[in-house]
Amino acid sequence: MNEKETIQAGAVPSFYDRPNVQKEILPIGSGIPLGIERVSNPLLGIAGAYGGWGESYDNDALPAFLASRLGEPLSENERMNLAELGFHHRMHLPELTEEQHLAVEVEVGARLLQQAIAANGWAPEEVEGLLIGTSAPVSADYLSRIAQRAGLRPDVLKVSVHKACDGSMGALHLALNPNLGETGQVNVAEELAGKKVLVGGIEGLSRFTSHARDKNALQLFGNGMGVFGVIPGQTMKLLAGKTHENYDEEGLLQVRMYYPHSKQMAPGKSLLETFCESANHIRVAGMMHEPQDGLPIVMAGLMGMVKLFVRTGVEVVTDVYREYRRVLERLGQTAHDIDVVIAHHANYKINLLKAKQLLKEGIQFPMPWLLPDFGNVSAASCAIAFLRQLPHIKPGEHVLFDGFGAGTYYDVMAVSMG
């Protein structure tokens, strides 16, 4: 049975049942399950860790949990065919206080960093950069909290990236592409070239959606996190990349900004605001089309997501691929091509449709679906998907990262590995 058939058949175990997952119960509230799996590829010199926290609900158990959260059951026509969308499990938390949510997410974030550092064979004090995408941080100083708890040096360069589901790829792009540097600001890629850097995404989406009324969002999203170690320019080299903004005027995916942002948008200016929180902490915050009623998230439905992401996403990927081919021509490596694509797991149908539209442009990629045991975990998805694929990547192979998220933001990169 191939991967597509497995997804559709529903033969997917919980993440916690994977043989290499380290499981424990955090003594917060009634006890919070936590699972982390390490992954490494010594030939590439890249390793990391990923996982999730909270109870794992499969598609059969999820409606009862959501009924308790909503105070009413989902009607039959409100229940999504989640297996068809590539999702079989997602992780959720019980009701917690704000203090408990903070304690949980600082603990899981710090433990994730510690496991990723250990997987790479590094010492905490060797890490010189920490770039994390997160859609709705539990606190404005979240990155500083988990860095300190994990034992990183106080002067490590920290970059918090809030670009919804594109956050981790926006972070990776900043680490690899010196052309993204802005006058008068730290050029992150130049600063971190040749240094040991942690990149990824951490998303406490069960907390974020706990007060949502959008029944599609409640079924799709869950907790997840993934971080990997790279040495920019050595273990991962940028060949071509593009970042793109396209404001969601229609509000097809409305997301509340729980992070510092002026919430102002000047004509012709970037949707991103960059703040220097301190001498060694940079925050990149993206403008969102926020819900008018104060809710955390409102979705226009699955067809709205297709409209929002597919057409522009295909254009950005096509632009990067064509630039990638021009780079290979200059390098005299035209026989090479993209070996695998790591795309944001918005849902399986969106990625299949993007692949179909790219084929019309003469572009065909292997696009494996890798996260059926998580829900949509926003900025964490590309990091987790990359770590799932990591053991199979060979030195010299080329990977295309395809990040996209609400706002709307896109970061697409072709890289050479190892």
**What is the per-residue DSSP string for 348-417?**
HHHHHHHHHHHHHTT---------TTS-B-TTHHHHHHHHHHGGG--TT-EEEEEEEETTTEEEEEEEEE
Determine contact, residues 90/62, Cβ cutoff 8 Å: yes
Give me the pLDDT at residue 183, please.
Answer: 77
SS3 category, 95 = coil
Residues 6+ apart with CB under 8 A from 294: 256
Alpha-carbon dihedral angle through residues 78, 84, 89, 90, given to the nearest 10 degrees: -60
The pLDDT-based confidence of 5 (bands split at 50, 70, 90) is very low
Report pLDDT for 181: 87
Binned at pLDDT 50, 70 and 90, residue 11 comes out as confident
Mean pLDDT for the stretch of residues 79-84: 96
Burial letters 268-299, b for 16+ CB under 10 A, else e: eeebbbeeeeeebbbbbbbbbbbbeeebbbbb
Alpha helices per DSSP H over 121-259: 142-150, 167-176, 188-192, 205-208, 215-220
Region 388-407 average pLDDT: 98
Looking at residue 266, its pLDDT comes to 82
To 10 degrees, the CA torsion angle through 381, 124, 146, 143?
Answer: -70
Q: Mind listing the pLDDT tens digit for each residue in 176-211?
A: 999 998 877 899 999 999 999 999 999 999 999 999
Query: In the prediction, which pLDDT does 6 show?
Result: 46
Mean pLDDT to the nearest integer, 320-332: 98
Query: What pLDDT, in 10s, does the model give residues 288-321?
Result: 999 998 899 999 988 889 999 999 999 999 999 9
Q: Is the dihedral of CA 5, 22, 53, 407 positive or negative?
A: negative
User: How many other CB atoms are found less than 10 A from the CB of residue 72?
Assistant: 10
* Contact present, 328 and 334 (Cβ < 8 Å): yes
Geometric angle at alpha carbon 225, from 242 and 283, rounded to 5°: 55
Instruction: Note the pLDDT tens digit of each residue in 252-282.
Output: 999 999 999 999 988 888 999 999 999 999 9
What local confidence, expressed as pLDDT, does residue 268 receive?
81
Indicate whether 138 pLDDT > 70. Answer: yes
Model confidence at 2, in pLDDT bands (50, 70, 90)? very low
Distance between CA atoms of 379 and 164, rounded to whole angstroms?
A: 6
| Beta-strand pair 297-299/253-255 | antiparallel
Query: Could you tell me which of 137, 178, 169 has the C-alpha nearest to residue 313?
Result: 169
The CATH code of the domain at 3-417 is 3.40.47.10
Residue type, 22: Q
* Alpha-carbon span 136 to 162, nearest angstrom: 8
Q: What residues pair up with 241 in beta bridges, in sequence order? A: 413
Examine the pLDDT at 1 and tell me if it is beyond 50: no
- What's the CA gap between 318 and 105, in Å, rounded? 37
- Is the pLDDT assigned to residue 10 strictly greater than 70? no
Tokens of 122: 């590094």
**Nearest Cα to Cα of residue 185 among 55, 275, 122, 287:** 275
Residue 68 in this model has a pLDDT that exceeds 60: yes
Closest CA to 377 of 387, 366, 367: 387
Whole-number Å distance between alpha carbons of 196 and 283? 20
pLDDT exceeds cutoff 90 at 335: yes
pLDDT, residue 45, reads 98
